[in-house]
Amino acid sequence: MRLDQISGQLRVASVVQAKPEELVVEHDSDDLSAVDRMRTVLSLDVLGVDEFQRSCDGHPTLAWVHETGAGRFLRGVDAWEDASKAVCFTNLKWAQAVRCLNALSEAGPKHQGLHCWPTPDEFVERGERWLRAHGRIGYRARFLHALAEQFRDGVHRREQVARSDFRAMPGIGPATAAYLAGMWGDWTVLSFDSSIRACLRERDGLVAPTREDAEVRYGYFGDFQGLACLLDASGWRRGFS
């Protein structure tokens, strides 16, 4: 269930699984964009994931992807939501990131116990000092405020964004830009970070893993090598491989 501001109105939509292969979007009858919004949030508009899952069948460390249907992620309704959240949770543990995001969401309107993720204008209005103190995101507040100003001023697009677009945003480094681009359907580049290095070093025995090592390992998956790499590291941390 999520709350969004659509054309100045607060809209609540939720998804229930009516049958094993059927999802139903529950929403107000006059909320005509609800189904498209939830399709975006559930990454159902990312093409090729089913084929990628089948390519994992029988793989020594990624067979669980095909077995569980993994490969789609929850994301925001637009590039602003995903990029601003990514700035906030970079280099944070998950529990701390959740606390920070919940606190920052209080800058947005509230309805039925839910908060909308704030708009760029709402963050700019609160100011960098509030972002730092209330969200407790430290140095990231400067980047988040700058990002909000740029989205407010139309510097960045909210839709049809590419990895280069994310890379040009304040507070977004190469690994995060690759991850965000993947969330929007472009998994051609690896999001190579410390978690990938740890997986290749501790599980696969590589002394000093490099991006090239990862590209050799996951190049088999072609345009989805970035997704394969991300899921492999995630599965290793969770004991799947």
Contact 229, 219 (CB under 8 A): no
How many helices and strands, by DSSP H and E, does the chain display?
12, 5
Rounded-to-integer distance, Cα 240 and Cα 68, Å: 11
pLDDT in tens, 28-50: 999 999 999 999 999 999 999 99
Instruction: Please say if the pLDDT value at position 241 is more than 80.
Output: no
pLDDT of residue 91: 87
Spell out the domains of the chain, with CATH numbers in brackets: 1-42 (no CATH), 79-183 (1.10.340.30), 194-237 (no CATH)
pTM of the full predicted structure? 0.92
Rounded-to-integer distance, Cα 198 and Cα 209, Å: 8
Rounded-to-integer distance, Cα 196 and Cα 95, Å: 20
pLDDT in tens, 147-175: 999 999 999 999 989 999 999 999 999 99
Instruction: Please say if the pLDDT value at position 21 is more than 90.
Output: no
